[in-house]
Amino acid sequence: MSERFSFNSQTLPEEDAFAAYALLYDNGSDVTRGAGAFWAEVRAWRLEGLLLFERRLSGVVHSRGARAGTDGFDHLVLSLVLSGQVAGGPESGFDVAVAGDIYVTDTTRPSRTEFVSAHVLTASVSREIIEAARGTTAGLHGRILTAPRNLMLADFLQSLARNGDAIETEAQPGLSRAFIHILASVEDKGLRASHEARRREYLRRDAVERMIDENLSDTALSVATLSRGTGMSRSALYRLFEDQGGVARLIQRRRLDGVRRGLDNREETGLSDMARAFGFADEYQLGRLFREAYEVSPQAYRDRVAASRRDDPIDSRRRWAGWMGEVS
């Protein structure tokens, strides 16, 4: 099943609710009070290649000023307004988004949005998926996609939210590919030819990453085995993943992500067994690489998870931080 978390300000004392919400979001946004009473309800799902959030909120402002371009975020966010309104401004590139609109935010750019009795579905999407859909991400920040051209995309986002709790892990790769095709349909015809090369490149990368995920326990997994399994030359694989630091680094990151997700999900597997399950030579190697990536040992990370309640703001914030690292 898909990983998920939730937050509801109404389950907390009024004096604590806003502080808890701000803590939930402080990995990626500065949160301040907006006009009127504050309330917020959030449901979130991790789907492969994209993160989906359903939010009902009011009286709150989200800002990415000095953070943008410095905090490592490099994904795009598509937000469908179902009701209420979202006020933007010069940083966000739009004035107001209302029911039926989808507004786009590039996390490498400053933004500011204020929510007024808003019900919003938000998809955080890796830049490579957007590039596969339209060839480039240029010109997207602040763009508002409107009906009737955005209707297929709006329906798709709503379907994901309705079924988020029941989506099987095996079905998730297909959702990312469907997202690419649906988003491509929003574009003008003149742009569609330019994204074909990007789409083919994404599909090649996707095939390699799928093989990596299916063989993470194999300590011999390498460029050579991937070359034999995919029919791509070593040089083609190096070029394909050059911007991600190379194939070996990608394999290592996928292994570490797998361990982190297991710890976040409170799996009771011992660390030595977890190391073997994800293809590390031993628990020592896992510990060294985990500390380099997350600045904490696997055991200390597990202890932090155990000390927090499921879906409290601290637990959800930690889980969300890991998710964001996967799409940026």
User: Which pLDDT tens digit goes with each residue over 13-35?
Assistant: 988 999 999 999 999 999 999 99
Both 13 and 113 in one domain: the answer is yes
Both 140 and 25 in one domain: the answer is yes
Compute the average pLDDT of residues 124-153: 92
Compute the average pLDDT of residues 225-251: 91
Residue 122 lies in a domain: yes
Compute the average pLDDT of residues 280-297: 96
Residue 84 lies in a domain: yes
Both 179 and 226 in one domain: the answer is no
Question: Per-residue confidence at 144, pLDDT binned at 50, 70, 90?
Answer: very high
**CB-based contact 154:80 (threshold 8 Å):** yes
Both 233 and 306 in one domain: the answer is yes
Residue 325 lies in a domain: no
Out of 4-13, 22-31, 317-326, least confident range? 317-326
- The residue ranking higher by pLDDT, 287 or 319, is 287
Both 17 and 116 in one domain: the answer is yes
Both 67 and 171 in one domain: the answer is yes
| Domains contained in the chain, number | 2
Of 149, 171, 187, which residue is a domain's last? 187
Out of 62-66, 130-134, 156-160, 190-194, least confident range? 190-194
Residue 323 lies in a domain: no
Structural domain boundaries, residue 223: 215-317
**CB-based contact 145:186 (threshold 8 Å):** yes
Residue 326 lies in a domain: no
Neighbours of 143 (CB within 10 A): 15
Out of 37-41, 103-107, 185-189, 294-298, least confident range? 185-189
- The residue ranking higher by pLDDT, 203 or 52, is 52
pLDDT at 194: 58
DSSP string, 130-183: HHHHHS--TT-TT-EE-TTTTHHHHHHHHHHHHHGGG--GGGHHHHHHHHHHHH
Residue 193 lies in a domain: no
Question: Per-residue confidence at 187, pLDDT binned at 50, 70, 90?
Answer: low
Both 222 and 177 in one domain: the answer is no
Q: Is pTM beyond 0.85 here?
A: yes
